[in-house]
Amino acid sequence: MSEFKSLYAAALAYLARREHSQWQLRQKLLVKFPQERALINQVIELLAQENYQSDARFADAYLYYRVQKGYGPKKIAYELTARGIQTVECDSAFARGDYDWKQLQEQARVKKFGTTPPTEFLSKAKQRHYLQQRGF
Structural domain includes residue 88: no
Looking at every residue in the chain, the average pLDDT score rounds to 94
- Kindly list the distances between the CA atom of residue 25 and the CA atoms of 12, 83, 92, 122, 135, in Å, as whole numbers in the listed order: 10, 10, 21, 44, 26
Structural domain includes residue 18: yes
Structural domain includes residue 95: no
Structural domain includes residue 30: yes
Q: What is the pLDDT of residues 99-126, one digit of tens each?
A: 999 999 999 999 999 998 888 999 999 9
Structural domain includes residue 59: no
Give the domain extent around 3: 1-53
Please tell me the pTM assigned to this model.
0.87
Considering its fold, how many domains does the chain have in total? 2
Looking at residue 49, which CATH number applies to its domain? 1.10.10
User: What is the distance between the alpha carbons of residues 91 and 14, in angstroms, rounded to a whole number?
Assistant: 26
Q: Contact, 28 vs 57, CB < 8 A? A: no
Helix axes 87-97, 55-68, angle to 10 degrees: 50
Structural domain includes residue 27: yes
